[in-house]
Structure 1
């Protein structure tokens, strides 16, 4: 580049010297310089017009022929144009390939900007969501999916869990929405048809509910006859006593399992479609802790209740009692004799929280993600001793889902466990509201 500039400077100097020599010959150096500069300016303007016509009128034509500085400019710009068109063609081919591959997906894919305006979607989105191209391009997605739940989910930026909704153009379809943030808060939506899975889940729930109902009657009959036989054990051969006691224990265990299955089925079917009431958590926890102390008398547990907030909850009292009672009773069952159990009810800027900490043997962190699954046991050998059904934490999980809550489990081997239920401030009921509700009931 430096050599090119030296060449151009040298050429300009030689031109000026030539004009001066010609001016000396004709006797007018000034006119010679004016004529030379005018000729150079005219030539420069001619090249500039040729460049303008080539850039704005020609379509990928070869650059104009020229020499010197302008020739290098034409050639350089032409090379940049060729590189640009090649890069553009490669990018367009890549975009076309990505669009073809996403159009081949059975799942809907939608791209929106940070405000929710739709930039692009595949063909499956038109089938599942009813979008129409190009009329819906640029429309806000939550104006087309008119569900307040979806709008809140879209704006929350909390996409750890997917959202399941009915299809906007077909209420018989169940769709699962996954949203991923990219770029400057742009969104990529992946929408899957989960109707088949949803129906299978409904069939499973109905089957469990129906079987549980059918088992309750024969179990009641069996338990009744067993109680009668045990009450009249003196009239039976002594060798039957042990068998009768074991049958009664197993019948009671089956009844507990059926009751838990029915409770879980009822909570799942009701969902959050219950009539919300103001729940006095303080009184509820006092009663639960009294029951826990009565249950753990033989083990000598120290059960402490710390009520650090007077706030209550808005929700279903039966469901909340079941969830809190399950956590406290689990702590009683799995804490060794003379252990300590601390129950807390407190609040902070995020909401209100219910926590139970025990001094038990702890849980391996490997098992914690699966503790809320039905019938999952971290240590199956302990189940026979405690008589648990394996459904307690599954009930807790669904109760919290119905009340917009979350369950947090922390535990270390040999250092005990802590189960914490977090409720948002939207679920809080002030002490004043609880007092007013109590006055109305009185």
Structure 2
């Protein structure tokens, strides 16, 4: 592609060339025509003067005609010829009349003799002389009758030479003007083209999203204003793009980190945007959703129905839906249409809030209330029943009185333990009990637990195996760690048949300590494992109550472990035994 200044210069020179060429040709032609007209007038006047000089009454009178013509021609450069009315040459200043052919058919003579005009002018090339001649003829009238013609001719050789010289001069002038115009045109075109080309380069960069591009040149006039406008536009574009990018990043960050799913669907049902939470809910990469129909992605009849209804009715919709694949989710779906600048529907926005945990907690709360009521009802009913029995007269029987009071006391203790466990668990969950951090030797805590459960272990002929390590230190609260291990070991004793084995192991790792409580008890089924740490959840309800358990022990253990920034894991095979693993960090 040619540079802009080359094209401007070429166009300018082409225009100037044709303008100068046309002007030169017109000027040369005009000068030639003007000169010929002057010569024509001159020849006509010369012919009239010669006719008056002949002083003839007729062509046959006076001094011999040939001599007169020769004398008259000596004073000028013109050739004089006298012709009879039949075209015969009577006299000629440069040739012998008798040897000359008939001139009746010469154009200038014919105009007078045949056409009757007052003068005749013609110009033609002479093969004999080798140059053009101009002829002017006027009639010789005697008594108003045309008796002949006086013709005066003039060589145009000098005119041709003058015209040729003029053309040569014009050519030189044209070449000089073209050369000067070229130099001036190049300078002017470069002065115009350079800033324009710089602006084009900046425009191309702006088109390619390089908003740092600027026009460095500072031309004057309108080009300067245009360059300044482009720089202002570039700065404005850069500022706007940065603002848009910042907004996009903010929006992208918000959408990416939202726990609620966001789905943007256009009016044709094509997905425009889906955030990470939606991908988690549908079990696939949300980036692959863009451009697909919502029915290909949303494989749920309830949500598809809500999207279709929102697109058709263009109203806000809020409903609760349930997903079953790939995981079970309970979602609060809020759908709303969005419109463009013209007010027409552009699509819908669907916001999906995960309320699975809320519903689970509501269910747990409901079950907790029912469980608390049930757990409280049993000892209260026992106390109430035995009290009424005693009041009805059984208190007179000393054995019965002692038996019933013993039961009332046991149920009161059970009720007291239940209430204490509920209050303790509530305080732990609300973080009202602060840790009193100290260095704890976990082996010492295990030994204390072993002493506490020693009688129960011996009663059931169980084998309790303790860790070999004598010192395993962690930062934590000693009483809480004791309560954790005691709960797990007590459960193991309760649910391990006679003759079974219970082992407590310690693993001292680089930054953590593992406490492992393993038994060969009845084990836990796989369906019960996920709910094992829920409040009041019992695997074997009848046996749990017989052992005096409240159903809150493992829930308390879980919260105590979490208060130490640790975690608890359980692995069990029904009928074979259970392994509880507690992982505590060494440093709090």
Instruction: Using structure 2 for the length normalisation, give the TM-score.
Output: 0.35
Instruction: Compare CA radii of gyration and give the structure with the larger one.
Output: 2
